[in-house]
Every structure is written in structure tokens, then in C-alpha cells.
Amino acid sequence: MQIGVFSVSDITTDPTTGRTPTENERIKASVAIAKKVEEIGMDVYAIGEHHNRPFFSSSPTTTLAYIAAQTERIILSTATTLITTNDPVKIAEDFAMLQHLSDGRVDLVLGRGNTAPVYPWFGKNIQDGVEPGHRELQPPAQAVG
């Protein structure tokens, strides 16, 4: 069994102070958390991929490479790389390079994004990933207020 920390890379308001960190502060905190994961003897640090607010990690390979350069032992993982909005060859190339740079400490988790509004940003349609005859995916309802 492996024990670690998984982050969806969200930027949220601290409920005790009411302060929302900047994107830069949250990125730096993520790196500090990964280093602490290694320091205290945990096994894995994983980060998600998102391309919309309130998240910061649109490039987990870059983030994990930066962390790899500052750690020696922990496994670095994605907590999902979006296969539906990325070029699969580019994913393979990026993670093969990261695997070399980290001396084999990378796990790659692939998944399907579910945030419909970002698909057009990549020239994709979320419906293309749904088999004919299955229920259509709908964008999330927008909050009113």
C-alpha cells in the first residue's frame, strides 16, 4: 500500500481567515506540500489537471517536473491527465521525458474530462466521447444569484 497526498489543484478561500490565495501562492504551496510529503515519509504526491477556474494546474507535467527536481524518493502522479482534450502523442512524449528526469518516479493516470465548456478551447466536442445511444452529457447547471 502507498500513502500520499492528492490535490485537485483548487484555489479556495480559507474558511478560517476568509482570504483566497493568489494563483502563484497556491502553486508554491503545492510544491511545498509535495516536498513535505517526501520529508515525512509518505509515498506519493498527485495533482489533477484542470483548465478552468477555480483551479491552477493546467500543466501537471510542468508542475511535477519542478517537484521532481526538488525531491528524490516520492512517486509523482497525475490525478488525472485528460486524454480527451490532449494529444495522446504529446502526453506520451511529455511523460516519457518526465519519467527520465525523475529517475522512474512517475505514475500516469488518464481520464476523461467532464467540464463541457473547456472542450471547444481544444477544438473538441464533449459529445464525441459518448457512444451513440447513451445519455447525452450536459454542461453543469450555472448557479444563479
| For the chain, domain boundaries | 4-129
Mean pLDDT of 113-118: 74
| Cα 110 from Cα 115, distance rounded (Å) | 15
Reply yes or no on whether the pLDDT at 79 is more than 80.
yes
CATH number of 4-129: 3.20.20.30
CA 70, CA 58: separation in Å to the nearest integer? 20
Best CA proximity match to 6, nearest among 38, 41, 34, 27: 34
Interval 36-58 mean pLDDT: 92
Percent of the chain past pLDDT 90, that is, above it, reads 59
* pTM for this model (two decimals): 0.81
